[in-house]
Structure 1
Amino acid sequence: MKKTIKYENKKVLVIGLAKSGKAAARLLRELKANVVINDRNSLEDNPDAVEMMAEGFEVVTGGHPLELLDQGFDLIVKNPGIPYRKVPLLMEAIKRKIPILTEVQLAYDVSEAPFIGITATNGKTTTTTLIYEMLEEDQLKPLIAGNIGEVASLVAQQASKEQVLVTELSSFQLMGIDSFTPQISLLLNITEAHLDYHTDIDEYRQAKLNLIANQTADQFCVYNAEDEVIVNGLSRTKATCVPFSLTSVVDGAYLSEGDVYFKDEKIIDIESILLKGDHNLQDVLGAVAVSKLYGCDTEAIKRVLKRFVGVKHRLQYVDEVNGVKYYNNSKATNVIATQTALKAFDDSIILLAGGLDRQHDLSGLLPYFSKIKAIVTFGETKHRFKALADEHQMPCIVVETLDEAVKESAKLATAGDHVLLSPACASWDQYPNFETRGDHFIELVEQLKNK
């Protein structure tokens, strides 16, 4: 672990526990900071708080009292999921100009290994996993961290100079950095999302673009040449910018006559890639560009692309039952993600959609109605999906739960159809997260098969 005096003798408030909060607090104490932990859950229902108190930390539970700030903190390290402007303590900290970081910055400050940083509205987990597997295939000693895998600051403490941290980064995490600088950054796409967290779309975009803000000319920024927001945001970086494109020949990664190229080198033909759909090809191009820039061998990249079937809950093929193929795309928590999934199919889709109602505009699904045989809708948004379907003469069945939705889809489907769970909504009305929702769907498909 790289030593830093950045936090020595600083008074630091860690807000929010769980894995990232505990890791941040322990690391800060090792870096000789004076740490106080604050978590909104009461002590009686908070085993994490009890654990940290047993280790000698001062822990304040049961809310975020404003008077905590009177202790004169030099810095706040915040759990990424806690909104900046919905917690009065954080709003007051912003007024007082107290720096607010996330543990990703701590990871960077102590890591001996360089970082590869990946961000996007959609596709970052698939792409992060692809890059990791490509580098692993070529024995380039990657570690995976961030939004997937282990907490970044834990991984970073164990990383050596010969390794590299392949890190998926969210806008929540990137709002809390000051000097974080990846050796290679990747901007896949930036569309509208998380407006219940961010003040507005511009704040969300700027948070994403923080990934490239500290890069220097000897570092690389791989970017989507077809995303106007990203292209316009390149003025924020001094990095060497390398494009990728699905539609044009560029000085980076691109498609030509059914083949994937990097610069002038043919990497692989599209037919040999197991991942299907333009959105996955976008992920592939980004991953190829990053891996080649890091020095990955082309044969290693090809081997991975010939076997990689996707990431769980992200257009994941589950199984075939009575000639009907079932796909789990529970990660689609917004309309754009569901649009992307629908693009991957030609027709004969039975769409399972619904969930937490965040008042997203559902009309973005209309251009894909010609591919859809019927919609089965559940959760809080079911009546909004039904209203949209009725207005455009689309068959639609309304149910309460995913269990019922899978049963109804099995009745509707005939051989050759695709049942696609792609909810276009968050899961929190009925599930703690999209992973639990997706796992439940997989179980329900297994039950269908075993009948």
Structure 2
Amino acid sequence: MGTNGKAFVLGMARSGYEAAKLLVSKGYEVIVNDANTEQNLEQMKELHSLGIKIILGSHPEDLIDNTFEMIVKNPGISNNHKYIKKARELNIPVINELELAFRYFPAGVIIIGVTGTNGKTTTTKIIYEILKKSSKSVYLMGNIGYPVCSFVSKLKDNDIAVMEVSDHQLCNVSDFKTNISVLTNLSEAHLDFHGSYDIYKNMKKKIFNHHTKRDIGILNLDSKEVLDLTNDIESTKKYFSSSSPNKLGCSIADGYIYYNNDKIIALNEVKLKGKHNYENAMAAIVVAKELGVTDNAIVNVLKTFGGVEHRMEYVKTINNIDFYNDSKSTNITSTQIALASFTRPTVLLLGGLDRGHSFDELKDYLLNVKLIVAYGEAKIRIKAFAIECGIPCEVVNTLEEATTLAYNSAGEGYVVLLSPACASWDQFKDFEVRGNLFKECVEKLGFK
């Protein structure tokens, strides 16, 4: 790849900022464009000082021409964006910061990629913690919040890069290749972005791109969707299952997690509870075993690892009411998992961006839900769904109101669960901002 060419970065955020810096360090002339004028001033100053041209507030028609060698696109921006269409017409490659970073990785870096509809973040974090505990030189990166470009200058041969990889990132990769790929599970998600479930699944499949028999694919044996999708991949396949014993990975039997025929840990010793978390742990164990990690390091982490922020995160108990922040549940399947984790009476906070998606698949999971508090853009449709299910529902505008109402409505021994089943973008920058606000609201309740 030539230096001193021109590169266009579409979308700032953390990934655009890191991509622009990497491109400049490799000799590119860089233009960054973002429709949003509210940006981090320190980052803007730094990019300006590096000679990077920044255009904010709009996408001028004449900005893209055939002098650009590449466009580096923020994963959240649609492939139907006018600049991306223009780039196709002009035969300009469109990549993202994951692909860009990969092209500059030292050849000896071992890459572990984790994707799937649910469980990605938790699985990625467990893998990272286990490898760290076993004194490997390991870095955590990707969709988990740490742009891959920011690690290029630190990595050296034999380092391990553990990355969460989203379907949005897999849209615009070409050369990117892992040594070990995990596919946790599959269900309908992000259909507004991809257009169809089949397109979404085929994006996930790209986590196995360029694999040979020397590379490992770690698959959910309990998911027919996963097995069908990966039927023809070249990888050496390993599995994890919470129901079927298997000799090619991890399974659960008589209250223990086994790797092949070896007992690893008793389920009651695993700090994270719930079938979905045992599956995440098993996927991580298979990865660790491929890298020669001892049982000791694995057990140590699984006994102490308490989970990921915004994913079934315990916040506080007030007057014997437990509050859980599951803001990362932006789809129906995630909320199903959250609801299935509790057998106590529950007040459920649902709402957010209205993508027009159906809530019907939540019906069978509402057994313990005594009240739904609906807020945000989707609130009226959620109210109609609740009436259909025969569950009381209160409608409010904001998450603050929803939290207070949920607390006032809950009885002793109840769970108040924020698991919105919707994206956050109607009222928040991202699910993290939403989850943090919920936690702040809960903290304030304790002083009322």
Is TM more than 0.5 here?
A: yes
Instruction: Return closer, same or farther for 1:63/1:448 CA change in 2, 3 Å cut-off.
Output: closer
Instruction: Return closer, same or farther for 1:430/1:58 CA change in 2, 3 Å cut-off.
Output: closer
| Residues 406 and 416, structure 2, Cα contact 8 Å, conserved in 1 | yes
Q: Is 2:437 the counterpart of 1:440? A: yes
2:203 aligned residue (207, 211, 215):
207
How far does residue 390 in structure 1 lie from its aligned partner after superposition? Answer: 1.5
Percent of aligned pairs with the same amino acid: 39
How far does residue 31 in structure 1 lie from its aligned partner after superposition? Answer: 2.4
Instruction: Return closer, same or farther for 1:155/1:172 CA change in 2, 3 Å cut-off.
Output: same
How far does residue 74 in structure 1 lie from its aligned partner after superposition? Answer: 2.8
TM-score, structure 1 as length reference: 0.93
| Residues 313 and 330, structure 1, Cα contact 8 Å, conserved in 2 | yes
Q: Is 2:91 the counterpart of 1:94? A: no
Q: What do the CA deviations read for 1:282-307 (whole angstroms, capped 9, x no partner)?
A: 21111111111122211111111111
2:292 equivalent in structure 1? 295
Distance in 2, matches of 1:416 and 1:10, equals 63
One-letter amino acid of the counterpart of residue 388, structure 1 = F
The 3-state SS of whatever aligns with 1:77 is strand
One-letter amino acid of the counterpart of residue 211, structure 1 = I
| Residues 262 and 289, structure 1, Cα contact 8 Å, conserved in 2 | yes
1:73 equivalent in structure 2? 68
Distance in 2, matches of 1:348 and 1:41, equals 42
Distance in 2, matches of 1:73 and 1:111, equals 23
| Residues 321 and 449, structure 1, Cα contact 8 Å, conserved in 2 | yes
| Residues 7 and 28, structure 1, Cα contact 8 Å, conserved in 2 | no
Instruction: Return closer, same or farther for 1:106/1:299 CA change in 2, 3 Å cut-off.
Output: same
The 3-state SS of whatever aligns with 2:173 is coil
2:50 equivalent in structure 1? 55
The 3-state SS of whatever aligns with 2:338 is helix
Distance in 2, matches of 1:284 and 1:254, equals 10
One-letter amino acid of the counterpart of residue 94, structure 1 = R
The 3-state SS of whatever aligns with 1:110 is coil
Cα RMSD of the aligned pairs, angstroms, is 1.9
Instruction: Structure 2: state its 5+ residue gaps.
Output: none
Q: Is 2:120 the counterpart of 1:124? A: yes
1:35 equivalent in structure 2? 30
Instruction: Return closer, same or farther for 1:67/1:370 CA change in 2, 3 Å cut-off.
Output: same
How far does residue 448 in structure 1 lie from its aligned partner after superposition? Answer: 2.2
How far does residue 382 in structure 1 lie from its aligned partner after superposition? Answer: 1.7
Distance in 2, matches of 1:302 and 1:168, equals 22
One-letter amino acid of the counterpart of residue 30, structure 2 = V
Distance in 2, matches of 1:24 and 1:317, equals 35
Distance in 2, matches of 1:19 and 1:389, equals 38
Distance in 1, matches of 2:367 and 2:39, equals 50
Instruction: Structure 1: state its 5+ residue gaps.
Output: 1-5
| Residues 353 and 422, structure 2, Cα contact 8 Å, conserved in 1 | yes
2:332 aligned residue (330, 335, 354):
335
How far does residue 50 in structure 1 lie from its aligned partner after superposition? Answer: 5.4
| Residues 277 and 345, structure 1, Cα contact 8 Å, conserved in 2 | no
2:104 aligned residue (110, 118, 121):
110
Distance in 2, matches of 1:432 and 1:57, equals 25
How far does residue 97 in structure 1 lie from its aligned partner after superposition? Answer: 3.3
2:409 equivalent in structure 1? 412
Correspondences of 1:214-233 after superposition (within 5 Å): 214-233=210-229
2:159 equivalent in structure 1? 163
| Residues 325 and 438, structure 2, Cα contact 8 Å, conserved in 1 | yes
1:3 equivalent in structure 2? none
1:196 equivalent in structure 2? 192
| Residues 330 and 422, structure 2, Cα contact 8 Å, conserved in 1 | yes
TM-score, structure 2 as length reference: 0.94
One-letter amino acid of the counterpart of residue 212, structure 1 = F
| Residues 212 and 236, structure 1, Cα contact 8 Å, conserved in 2 | no
Distance in 2, matches of 1:257 and 1:354, equals 39
| Residues 122 and 308, structure 2, Cα contact 8 Å, conserved in 1 | yes
Distance in 2, matches of 1:412 and 1:191, equals 33
Q: Is 2:279 the counterpart of 1:282? A: yes
Distance in 2, matches of 1:183 and 1:409, equals 46
One-letter amino acid of the counterpart of residue 89, structure 2 = K
| Residues 253 and 286, structure 1, Cα contact 8 Å, conserved in 2 | yes
Q: What do the CA deviations read for 1:197-254 (whole angstroms, capped 9, x no partner)?
A: 2132222211111110211211111111222332122245321111111111122111
